[in-house]
A and B are shown apart, each in its own frame.
Chain A
Amino acid sequence: MKSMPSWIYALGALIFVLLFNAFATPGFFEINVLDGRLFGSVIDILNRVAPVALLSLGMTLVIATRGVDLSVGAVMAMSGAVAASLIARPEGNILLGLNFGDSVFLIVLAGLVTGLLCGLFNGLLVSRARIQPIVATLLLMVAGRGVAQLISDGQIITFSAPAFASIARGATLGMPNPFWIVVLFAAVILVLTRWTALGLFIESLGSNPIAARNVGINTGALLLFVYSVTGVCAGMAGMIAAADIQGADANNAGLYLELDAILAVSVGGTLLSGGRFSLVGTLIGAILMQTLTTTILTRGVAPELTLVVKALVVLAVCLLQSPTFLHMLRPKKVAA
């Protein structure tokens, strides 16, 4: 039991859904090459999962410290609004003073800095003001969309910038760019947490905050770090979303994605009570959720049922993680 990775259930479920599709959905695994780029359902899943995957990477670290970040959806809306404002430069925009021209690098940097600032704000509230994470990040979740609308002046800013749009729509080495962005972020975070002591610090903070402080871990700085990472990830996700629709919609960008991200993390085997975390599991969880969504859509089932399916998945995962529930199951098996 101990030797099995925590994400084994998620992987099993993913294989099950993929097998189901292999038999039930004709052409699910078909991959075509067009203009040196791969197309197909599987590629589409890897492309569409990018925003949620980015959010859940950061969320994994936050949840490992016993926290949660509800503001990621709103942060996406803010960074999207900043990027769109800098590109389209609409009349009367409050960011008109900043002119980055067509430099995609500077615009992406601005979006990431927006995310970083939001993350620092959340981190300060949690580590300095000691406000519960749910509440501290709720604040930015409420006010963040207001700020995003303030930045975009209440408009849905649309733009036509092929260079920026290629963040979401372009492809490199045959795979869509969002896929590579996720790979890059995942690699950096994996190296940071698994090749340095950082991951160990995060796990000890989540397992026992008082003990972690007593052994000399700077818990305040650590919290600040994990919320900042989540902010930056959300900033990047916001730019993928903005580049995908070539516009910024402050009301709907990233709406409910915080819930999807939490779902991906918990399905991926990271306990919501903190401590041990698994980034690989999170990625599998995110892909599983996206595969489920795509399956439901391609099967012609009513799309609103995805919400119901997600609800049932959350409950199933919660129950499987609940010691009380597992304890209840055991004697029943004996009796049978």
Chain B
Amino acid sequence: MNRFLSQERLPVLITSVVAIAMFLIAGFKYDNFLTLRVFFNLFSDNAFLGIVAVGLTFVILTGGIDLSVGSMVGCSSIMLATLIRDSQVAPPLAVGIVLAFGCLIGLTQGFLIARFELQPFLVTLAGLFLCRGIALRISQQSVQIDHPLFDQWASFSIALPQKSSLSFAALLLFLVVGIGWYLSRLRPFGRAIYAIGGNRQSAELMGVPVRKTLIGAYVISGICAALGGVVFTLYTQSGNAVSGTGLELDAIAAVVIGGTLLRGGYGSVPGSLLGVCVLGIVQTAITFDGTLSSWWTKIVIGVLLLGFLLLQRWIESAALSRRALAPSGTN
């Protein structure tokens, strides 16, 4: 049991150390970096990415992948804006419709993957095309939202000491992380997710409802991606069909850096939040520097991702060799 704990906890531990170290180094280098304001803004600015990453964590834990999340963000953003502006739908209802759409796409993808045993990579690739196509079909121009209630949501924030604040988006992020943690750790559904990721055949033989659980994971991912789109729309107060392009990669990077193995079976929802923080710190530090161009973000994230992937491999092979060395009875 202990070695599984270490295999699971070690990446998160290392990510925490890296995150704190990066925050401190950036704090020494740039004035006003080491403040509560910068810290809380990490959550406010990256809430959409965090929400998407939480949903994606469930899919990756099952050993799958969801490439459609980025275009789902764009699709829900433009859908929400069009519903509110052109169809005059009240914002809460519009959000409900958008989330239902995310749920539907997730359900379809999950059904195809679970029922017909199609490759998640390809099915969600089709989902990527489909969502972007629908989004562009709705409107190719960005759609401004001008609704008192929506403005209220967008400007709502809780004031905290040192002129810092938490926006509505950040609160939503914490709520989603909380629900995600509850589902993954305290519900049978969560245990089934880990079991499938660990070994699908064994899970099936043990009587885990594999198909239902897989579909559930993709539904969660779809809903989270749609909610991410809603949050993204809160920032810009307008819907845009091309928003979220390439977001799936950032989200996957956040999940991996957060310690979830892409093979499935190991990882955690709060870890993904930590991964989002690491990406956020990189971005904030590069903005603070001012002389570094924005493309350095991509390169640094790529290098970080490489480091964490090699680390994962090393931990896995270390665990394997330890298992091989152990007397056969303990296995």
Given contacts A129-B313, A139-B305, A318-B118, contact A307 B295 (CB under 8 A): no
- List which A152-176 residues lie within 8 A (CB) of chain B: 154
A131 interface contact, C-beta 8 A: yes
Instruction: Name the one of A131, A273, A310, A319 contacting B129, with C-beta atoms under 8 angstroms.
Output: A310
B293 interface contact, C-beta 8 A: yes
Interface size class of A (residues with CB under 8 A): 35 or more
Cα–Cα distance between A140 and B117 once the two chains are bound (Å): 29
Instruction: Say whether B122 contacts A266, CB under 8 Å.
Output: yes
Cα–Cα distance between A68 and B118 once the two chains are bound (Å): 16
Stretch of B45-53, B187-195, B248-256 lying at the A interface:
B248-256
Instruction: Say whether B122 contacts A308, CB under 8 Å.
Output: no
Cα–Cα distance between A142 and B297 once the two chains are bound (Å): 10
B298 interface contact, C-beta 8 A: yes
Instruction: Say whether A314 contacts B126, CB under 8 Å.
Output: yes
A90 interface contact, C-beta 8 A: no
B315 interface contact, C-beta 8 A: no
Cα–Cα distance between A134 and B306 once the two chains are bound (Å): 13
Instruction: Say whether A324 contacts B263, CB under 8 Å.
Output: no
Given contacts A142-B253, A259-B125, contact A135 B116 (CB under 8 A): no
Closest Cβ of chain B to A139, distance in Å, is 6
B137 — which chain A residues lie within 8 A by C-beta?
Answer: 302, 304-305, 308
Closest Cβ of chain A to B39, distance in Å, is 25
B250 — which chain A residues lie within 8 A by C-beta?
Answer: 142
Cα–Cα distance between A311 and B302 once the two chains are bound (Å): 28
Instruction: Name the one of B125, B133, B249, B262 contacting A305, with C-beta atoms under 8 angstroms.
Output: B133
Instruction: Name the one of A140, A259, A318 contacting B119, with C-beta atoms under 8 angstroms.
Output: A318
Interface positions of B (Cβ within 8 A of A)? 65, 112, 115-119, 121-123, 125-130, 132-134, 136-137, 140, 249-250, 252-253, 256, 262-263, 293-299, 301-303, 305-306, 309-310, 313
- Beyond contacts A131-B310, A132-B262: 10 other A-B pairs, Cβ-Cβ < 8 A, are A131-B313, A134-B262, A136-B309, A139-B305, A146-B295, A150-B299, A307-B130, A311-B130, A312-B130, A318-B118
List 22 A–B pairs whose Cβ atoms lie within 8 Å, in order of A's numbering. A130-B313, A131-B309, A131-B313, A132-B263, A143-B302, A143-B305, A149-B293, A149-B298, A250-B295, A259-B125, A304-B132, A304-B133, A307-B130, A307-B132, A307-B136, A308-B129, A308-B134, A311-B126, A314-B122, A318-B116, A324-B116, A325-B116
